[in-house]
């Protein structure tokens, strides 16, 4: 059982380039989330999706977009990367409001 | 504003007991979560409290006081593998999790 798979695990990217981080889950969870984690800060929610076909903005959505065409996939796109988007990105899913979050292994992105 | 406070770093000895505190101020309350995160890895779920009191799960226990906006995670019989960061998170009125910055726990032999 894979749980949540993220790709790539690590990427170095030139500023201004477009980048999509992929996230796939096989648990049939309705809710999915994208977080960024920076040193000294808590996880910050970028975007979320409560169910396939719907998405919402989190705490730090600017510069990012998401789509949820089906239950399993929730890609995060940086349209034009900037150095401040250097971070570790975690995708997560849950089966309800009070359900625990299951995290992918993270994608370490460096924007130069 | 919404805020979660927890100590940045704590040190404890193998075999001992350690208590990691978390205080919170959020718009609404829909449960408090504790997660463990080893360096370079993803967070993993430890506990969930929605009612006041103590929840025990093996060597780990979590306590909640909603009136005080306070929780703690108690780790007993510490092992070297418990060296990790411990993240406190609170569900707000929109059921979104607000996360603390985490407490790095260092276990010494």
Pick the closest to residue B71 from B48, B105, B43 (CA basis): B48
CA B2, CA B61: separation in Å to the nearest integer?
25
- Tens digits of pLDDT across chain B (109 residues): 789 999 999 999 999 999 999 999 998 999 999 999 999 999 999 999 999 999 999 999 999 999 999 999 999 999 999 999 999 999 988 888 999 999 999 999 9
Residue A27, pLDDT above cutoff 70? yes
Both tokens of B48, joined, read 């969930």
Return the pLDDT at A98.
61
Smallest Cα distance from A65 to chain B, Å: 18
Buried b (16+ CB within 10 A) or exposed e, B20-46: bebbbebeeebbbbbbbbeeeebbeeb
> Which chain A residues contact residue B44 at CB under 8 A?
103
Strand A44-49 to strand A56-57: parallel, antiparallel, or no bridges (unpaired)? antiparallel
* Chain A interface disruption, residue of B22, B42, B55, B99, most A CBs within 10 A: B42
> Which chain B residues contact residue A49 at CB under 8 A?
none
CA A41, CA B97: separation in Å to the nearest integer?
14
Return the pLDDT at B96.
85
> Which chain B residues contact residue A97 at CB under 8 A?
30, 91, 95
End-to-end CA distance of chain B: 40
Cβ-based burial of A88 (10 A; exposed 0-12, middle 13-18, buried ≥19): middle
* Chain A interface disruption, residue of B25, B40, B43, most A CBs within 10 A: B43
Q: Which residues contact B89 (CB under 8 A, 6 or more apart)?
A: A42, A43, B4, B32, B33, B34, B35, B97, B98, B99, B100
> Which chain B residues contact residue A91 at CB under 8 A?
none
Size of interface A-B (CB pairs under 8 A): 47
| Better-scored residue on pLDDT, B36 or A96 | B36
Determine, for residues A98 and B91 on separate chains, whether the beta-carbon distance falls below 8 Å.
Answer: yes
Q: Is A103 near chain B, with CB under 8 Å?
A: yes
Determine, for residues B44 and A45 on separate chains, whether the beta-carbon distance falls below 8 Å.
Answer: no
Smallest Cα distance from B47 to chain A, Å: 9
A51 close to A70: Cβ distance less than 8 angstroms: no
What's the mean pLDDT in A36-60?
94
The DSSP line for A38-105 is: -TTS--EEEEEESSTT--EE-SS-TTEEE--SSSSB--EEESS--GGG-EEEEEEEESSTTSPPEE--
End-to-end CA distance of chain A: 36
Nearest to A100 among B30, B45, B96 (CB): B45
Return the pLDDT at A86.
98
């Amino acid at each position: 059982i894979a749980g949540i798979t993220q790709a790539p695990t690590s990427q170095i990217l030139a500023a201004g380039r477009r980048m999509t981080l992929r996230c796939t889950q096989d648990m049939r969870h309705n809710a999915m989330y994208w977080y960024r984690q920076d040193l000294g800060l808590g996880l910050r929610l970028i975007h979320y999706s409560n169910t396939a076909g719907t998405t919402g903005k989190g705490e730090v959505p600017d510069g990012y977009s998401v789509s949820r065409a089906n239950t399993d996939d929730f890609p995060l796109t940086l349209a034009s990367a900037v150095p401040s988007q250097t971070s570790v990105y975690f995708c997560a899913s849950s089966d309800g409001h009070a359900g625990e979050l299951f995290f992918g292994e993270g994608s370490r992105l460096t924007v130069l | 504003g919404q805020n979660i406070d927890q100590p940045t770093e704590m040190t404890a000895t193998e075999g001992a007991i350690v208590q990691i505190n978390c205080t919170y101020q959020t718009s609404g309350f829909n449960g408090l979560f504790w997660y463990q995160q080893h360096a370079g890895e993803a967070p993993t779920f430890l506990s969930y409290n929605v009612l006041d009191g103590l929840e025990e799960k093996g060597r780990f226990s979590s306590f909640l006081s909603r009136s005080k906006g306070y929780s703690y995670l108690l780790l007993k019989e510490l092992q070297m593998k418990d060296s990790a960061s411990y993240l406190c998170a609170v569900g707000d009125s929109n059921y979104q999790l607000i996360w603390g910055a985490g407490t790095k726990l260092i276990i010494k032999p």
